[in-house]
Amino acid sequence: MNISTIANLKFFYIKTKNISLFLSIITLILFIIGLYWGLFIAPPDYLQGNSYRIMFIHVPAAWLSLQVYIIMAVTAFIALVWRVKIMEIISIQCAPIGGLFTLIALVTGMIWGKPTWGTYWVWDARLTSELILLFLYIGVIILYSAFTDKRQAVKVTSILAIIGLINIPIIHFSVEWWNTLHQGPTVTKFEKPSAHISMLLPLLYMLFVFNMCFITILLKRIRLGIFQREKNTKWAEDYLND
Amino acid sequence: MIKTILLKELSIYIRNLNSVFLPLIFFFLIISIFPLVLGPDKVLLNKIIPGVIWITAILTTLLISNNFFKEDFNSGIIEIYLTSESSIELILFLRIISCWIFTCLPIIIFIPIVSLLFEIPFSSSIILVFTLLLGTPILISIGLFGSALTLGLSRNNILTPILIIPFYIPVLVFSASAIESVSIGLPYYSQIYILLALLMLILPTMPYLLKYTLEFSINN
């Protein structure tokens, strides 16, 4: 089985039906375990008490919001250069998921900010760039939906996604550039993470679970996208009639 | 070749002087609305007016670039560009430059008068002109990119600004930071250098990007 067979839309759609169901169940179980670990087993923070536990949602969501944008831009690049149909669909379907993660990161951050900083929102560099990331996602979604000719929409949206990738470094390094209210990174310090291991482990686990969530939702959306694009072909009609 | 294109652009702008004066009038109109809304408080106005000028510059470049390619697209000139032997990158580059010269440069020339109206100190005024000189070509280039992206759409009035304002942020951040530094007496060279670097990055690459975007927008 070579790569072009997997990239074939019909083949992909039919083969992934069971995988998608399997992934959904696994992810749900992993997610419940992760929530229990983060909310009940992990020790309370000596400074922030229990309110820090929202971190187990906030940090993975914020991380994923960047990661999904990179995936979207890279697949858009592959779709533009090598004209791979499945990559076009992946790139477009990444946008709403990434937007959702960005929204989750923003909302959980606001909820956490009230007891910790005393305010829901500050115009801090990092918060602002996350908000701009949300606008970038919205731009991609709106631009795609504005075109009636979806082949053209994919091309134009891909360019926008790739060019938007220059905003990602600005977001990521903004902490160092305009070091303001938002606390610095606690996981990626190479020498010694400043979070204790009993908090770090559930956090890393939640990061893995959020990646699983992303893959599960993406797979479902890819299948939806394939069906929307191929709805007038014979195999799609046969599939519906079965 | 370069001379021919520039002369042609010049004659277009001279025959249609509205496209030179309207952005200027729009700019002054928006600037003069701010004191009406915020009250004639000198201290407050003096503090915020550099930011106001930058925001107004952004609005003006958005309006200038919004339907930049539309007329050429409808009359088929862009297709002729794309299929012609001559280098479309050069044509696009010169069009960006001439668009900036005839619409943004007049605004920048009038900045000292605006500074008089709001009593901006001379040092801030100079740095405002500098940041605008470096920043507005970037804004125009990005605006034309947005205009090329939405070329295939029939109604795109508000879509283009939504797409491109996020890309304006770095320019805005460094310009505002330079003006703020100068007003509290700190060195501002690093921000100016970053703006210069952005300009040097965007001006040569934008014609190529515009070319690809126009190609994708046209072949449907």
Chain B residues whose CB is inside 8 A of the A147 CB are 152-153
Put simply, the answer to whether B220 touches A152 (Cβ < 8 Å) is: yes
**According to the model, what pLDDT value does residue B144 have?**
93
Structural domain count, chain B: 1
Put simply, the answer to whether A164 touches B166 (Cβ < 8 Å) is: yes
The reply to whether ipTM tops 0.95 is no
Distance CA B6, CA B105 (A): 16
From A147, A152, A9, select the one nearest A80 (Cα to Cα): A152
Put simply, the answer to whether B169 touches A167 (Cβ < 8 Å) is: yes
Question: What is the number of other CB atoms lying within 10 angstroms of the CB of residue B204?
Answer: 11
Distance CA A232, CA A235 (A): 9
Nearest chain A residue to B153 by CA distance is A147
From A141, A130, A6, A128, select the one nearest A62 (Cα to Cα): A130
A15-241: CATH, from 1.10.1060, 1.10.1900, 3.40.50, 1.20.120 = 1.20.120
For helices B122-149 and B189-218, the axis angle rounded to 10 degrees is: 20
Report the C-alpha dihedral over residues A55, A60, A65, A67, rounded to 10 degrees.
150
From B104, B86, B98, B65, select the one nearest B211 (Cα to Cα): B86
Nearest chain A residue to B168 by CA distance is A167
From A65, A96, A43, A25, select the one nearest A203 (Cα to Cα): A43
Report the C-alpha dihedral over residues B49, B55, B60, B65, rounded to 10 degrees.
160
CA B193 to chain centre: 19
**pLDDT cut 90: percent of chain B above it:** 30
Distance from CA of A206 to the nearest CA of B (A): 30
Quote the tokens at residue B34.
Answer: 């701010």
Distance CA B161, CA B148 (A): 12
CA A77 to chain centre: 18
**According to the model, what pLDDT value does residue A184 have?**
58
**Chain B residues with CB-CB distance to A under 8 A?**
145, 149-150, 152-153, 156, 159, 162-163, 165-167, 169-170, 209, 212-213, 216-217, 220
Residue ranges of domains in chain A: 15-241
Interface contacts A/B by beta carbons within 8 Å: 53
**According to the model, what pLDDT value does residue B123 have?**
84
From A207, A206, A214, A182, select the one nearest A116 (Cα to Cα): A182
Nearest chain A residue to B206 by CA distance is A163
Instruction: Summarize pLDDT for B131-176 with one digit per residue, the tens.
Output: 999 999 999 999 999 999 888 887 767 888 988 888 888 888 888 8
**According to the model, what pLDDT value does residue A174 have?**
45
Put simply, the answer to whether B149 touches A149 (Cβ < 8 Å) is: no
Distance CA A69, CA B121 (A): 43
Element (H, E) at A145: helix A125-146
**According to the model, what pLDDT value does residue B186 have?**
80
Output DSSP code: residue B200.
H
Q: Map residue A189 onto helix, strand or coil.
A: coil
Question: What is the number of other CB atoms lying within 10 angstroms of the CB of residue B8?
Answer: 13
**Chain A residues with CB-CB distance to B under 8 A?**
132, 135-136, 138-139, 142-143, 146-147, 149, 151-152, 155-156, 159-160, 163-164, 167, 170
DSSP result, A81-124: HH--HHHHHHHHHHHHHHHHHHHHHHHHHHHHHHHHHSSS----
pLDDT in tens, chain A (242 residues): 566 666 678 888 888 888 889 999 999 999 999 888 888 887 777 777 777 888 889 999 999 998 999 999 999 999 988 888 889 999 999 999 999 999 999 999 999 888 888 888 877 777 877 888 899 999 999 999 988 888 888 889 999 999 888 766 765 554 445 544 455 556 554 455 566 777 788 888 999 999 999 999 999 999 998 888 888 888 777 877 87
Distance CA B160, CA B145 (A): 9
Put simply, the answer to whether A159 touches B167 (Cβ < 8 Å) is: no
Nearest chain A residue to B148 by CA distance is A156
Chain B residues whose CB is inside 8 A of the A164 CB are 166-167
Radius of gyration of chain B (CA): 18
Residues with Cβ < 8 Å from B169, sequence gap 6 or more?
Answer: A132, A167, A170
Contact B220, B152 (CB under 8 A): yes
**Which residues span the domain enclosing B58?**
2-218
H helix count then E strand count, chain A: 9, 0
pTM above 0.95, yes or no: no
Contact A163, B167 (CB under 8 A): yes
Q: Which residue has the tokens 């901006």?
A: B120
Chain B residues whose CB is inside 8 A of the A138 CB are 162
Of A195-199, B40-44, B118-122, B180-184, give the lowest mean pLDDT range: A195-199
Contact A229, A9 (CB under 8 A): yes
Quote the tokens at residue A81.
Answer: 């250069």
Contact B68, B74 (CB under 8 A): no
Q: Taking phi first (over 0 means left), then psi (-120 to 50 degrees means alpha), and beta for anything else, what does residue A44 get?
A: beta
Name the residue among B149, B166, B209 with its Cβ closest to that of A135.
B166
Distance CA B5, CA A104 (A): 51
Name the residue among B165, B170, B216 with its Cβ closest to that of A170.
B170
Residues with Cβ < 8 Å from A185, sequence gap 6 or more?
Answer: A175
- Cα angle, residue B33 at apex, residues B65 and B132 outer, rounded to 5°: 45
